[in-house]
Structure 1
Amino acid sequence: MLGTLLTYESPKGLVGGRIVEAEAYMGTPDSAAHAFGGKRTASNEPLYGPPGTVYIYSIHGRYLLDVAAQAKDEPQGILIRAIQPTIGYEIMLENRKKPGANLTNGPGKLMEALGISDKKMNFEIIGDGKLKIDLNNRLIPRRIKASNRIGVENQGDWATKPLRFYVAGNPYVSMIKRSEANIDNFGWH
């Protein structure tokens, strides 16, 4: 998904940007996943949908966007952690009021910037509704880095697995050091 274009047809207008950071959650064996151990509830049911099913959930009052990535009933998903805004920047800035990289450099921040503050799109297939990921319109990262996922430190053995992927040097990646940011090409070819 890195480099693909995520867009949302918000009530204020089209907003979106390039996906620069994502985390994989590997389903029932993954101690950090919402479906760990086969857990299946009304809340995480979208994860059990067909590939491309939208799964929006909230943590600490913030909404996050996950997309089911495997066959129906195989609850693996990709959390979209950050985007580099390219469409509707002024709308996103109005929604979040944090300019620069801080606008969309985290999963809750990007949802706030997009203007998504509920779970109404759960169960939709990405691309069929207002949320789209254009797999054919992609920028190629110069380098992709992998690390442990963020915010799951206390979730057992899987917490340290390198399942977070990001565009090296992109300033919109969450928790990137300023010295690692490449403002000349943002990490793209």
Structure 2
Amino acid sequence: MTEDEMRDPAEFHREVSYLPPQPTRATKSAIMAFAEQQRKAVNLETGFQLADLIQANGGAIEYIGFMDEDQTDAIVIEPDGNFVVRLSSHTGELRDHFTLAHELGHKVLHWPRVRDDNPGSGMRATRRVDDSKEELVRCEWEANWFASAFLMPAEEFTAAYSAGNASETFGVTRAAVEVRAKTLGIR
């Protein structure tokens, strides 16, 4: 008998509920400091492969085609913590790099609270958020703050920005560079 066959049939066929992210309510500066600490804790250096980091932590990346029926999910986290990040097949590498870091932000910031408050549930963050849902809008801000600092740590960013090569150095769009520069007060 396999392990699956020995399980209680009710457990084996149990439907998993997927809940939306729950905000940390931490400040922007606290989230950005946390992101930089996480980067240092795992010895990441500029130019690292974000896809490798995601795979090493139980994640996978899928691409959504222009004609695919389901265009909604951006990250789906299973109750066991394994996850899938879904990227659009018609965005560029620089945009995808930031998106991967953003979805990783949902995983490290929002998933622990969902998991702890709702054992046995998964989490699903969608591509588009209704502006009237303040909690979800807050989660998007938090994931963006995380991604920005995780990809572009302040000290390295300041030097690259001054040299005029931040987009190339960090593998992000010029728009992401300008937002980070404004946040750091150097623009």
TM over 0.5: no
Which has the larger Rg? Answer: 2
Instruction: Considering fraction of residues, name the structure with more helix.
Output: 2
Provide TM-score, normalisation by structure 1: 0.28
Higher RCO (CA < 8 A, seq sep 6+): 2
**Structure number having the greater strand percentage:** 1
